[in-house]
Amino acid sequence: MKEKQTHSITLESTCKITDEICLPDTKLPSVVIVGGGFAGLALVEKLKHKEVQVVLLDKNNFHQFQPLLYQVATSALEPDSIVFPFRKQINGYKNVFFRLAEVVEIQPDSNTILTNKGSVSYDYLVLATGTTTNFFGMDSVAENSLGMKDIRDSLNIRHMMLQNLEQAAITCDDKERDALTNFVIVGGGPAGVEMAGALAEFCKYILPKDYPEYPSSIMNIYLIEAIDELLGTMSDKASSKTLKYLEDLNVKVLLNEAVSNYDGNEVTTKSGKTILAKNLIWTAGVKGQFPKGIDEKHVVKGNRIKTDANLKVEGYENIFAIGDIAALISEERPKGHPQVAQAAIQQGKYLGNSILNLINNKPTQPFEYKDKGSLATVGKRKAVADLGKFKFAGYFAWLLWSVVHLMSISGFRNRLMVGFNWAVSYFTYEKSNRLIIRNFKPKSLIDNTEE
């Protein structure tokens, strides 16, 4: 372990902006965590008040509850309902320090990482950087559509939707109006299904009141999935029920279809179908994102980092990966663990215990994932649940989904805000956050302006 000058972990008043990010001097082992998602925060919780110095680095100063991004996108929730400041989260954790910085490179030989704000040294490095939207090399789709991976994406979707609906009320061109009011969601996993259901309810209950200029039937919602079923990781019952729920909401579900191109106005599929739409939301895939410095031979499909059974990155003694970015490949799980919150949280908790055991020269046990089941909602009072042998759908599944998600949100105030909004929506279907507070422009238009 590296030696530092004193045992004190009190921030010195003499800190200056230098090439090194200022941190308290200590002889305690240093654990640097890159990324404050579900995995990173679970690890922080395990290491708080322990005999280690924990440094959390993130390019944002907040944690975001990704399962509810679609509700921000469809005006059901405000963004501050599902984001929580890191500094509030770690308030009172005397051994935990947050630094706002984006890591750009790892230098394993010197146990150092480089960020856009300076360098940080470590004894143990944990990569919990998560994933980003994967457009599978389709540049035109990436330029003209929106992913849904963070709170900014959700706000972009909201502003795009509202701006286009307002423009549809202005234009006298029928073809243009159709394009502005057609919505295409690509990807039939939980994010795509939940987004489609929320948009369908917006169309059914909000559009007639807000936009009497045209009938709500003008708003068409398409859900495109490349395989022959929705929710491919869940049971056949969940898949078939979800399909029925969406069709009941007038969502046009296209199975065995894959998008090949999108120019901002027309979606083209590999089978030759075309859909006129100025709104395309991409939830069809993700890929790992992490700083350079990890040998490419340890990176596997999906741009995930291959780890051993103890979540240690192959080829390194003191670098670990957890959450969506980690690929613990075995005979049981040839594709690694599912990229879901419960796997990330379990890995974070496990690694906290494992690192403490390593520091104290105690043996560590391999990580074992316990699948607690899967849930997905398709609008109000409609959801599907796979809980081991129990597979059910309908109101009780929706109620369970609501309770699980509400209790998983960080902070009492945030839970209260979300719960209140849900209660109002339950009785009124009202979505009161239909505000355009900034002008949204597609990436393609921004790039053309810059040129």
HSE value, Cβ hemisphere, 13 Å, CA-based, for 368:
3
Burial class (CB in 10 A: 0-12, 13-18, 19+), 6: exposed
Distance separating alpha carbons of residues 373 and 313, to the nearest angstrom? 27
Q: Of the residues 143, 194, 225, 314, which is catalytic? A: 194
Strand partners, 230: none
Distance separating alpha carbons of residues 219 and 397, to the nearest angstrom? 28
Residue linked to tokens 């100063």: 61
| Six token digits for residue 405 | 């998600």
DSSP string, 222-273: EEE-SSSSSSTTS-HHHHHHHHHHHHHTT-EEE-S--EEEE-SSEEEETTS-
Q: What is the Cα Rg of the chain in Å?
A: 23
Phi, psi of 250 (to 5 degrees): 70, 25
In one letter, which amino acid is 282?
W
| Six token digits for residue 142 | 């990436």
Distances (CA, A) of 170 to 161, 208, 382: 15, 16, 35
Letter string b/e over residues 351-374, b meaning 16 or more CB atoms within 10 A of that residue's CB? bbebbbebbeeeebeebebeeeeb
Distance separating alpha carbons of residues 256 and 270, to the nearest angstrom? 10
CB < 8 Å & 24+ apart, contacts of 151-156: 151/64, 151/69, 151/72, 151/79, 151/82, 151/83, 153/69, 153/73, 154/69, 154/70, 154/72, 154/73, 154/79, 155/72, 155/73, 155/79, 156/440
Is residue 194 part of the annotated active site? The answer reads yes
Q: How far apart are the first and last CA of the chain?
A: 50
What lies within 8 Å, CB to CB, of 44 at 6+ separation is: 33, 36, 54, 56, 89, 90, 93, 96, 348
Distance separating alpha carbons of residues 369 and 93, to the nearest angstrom? 28
Distance separating alpha carbons of residues 371 and 87, to the nearest angstrom? 31
**Which residues are known to be catalytic?**
194
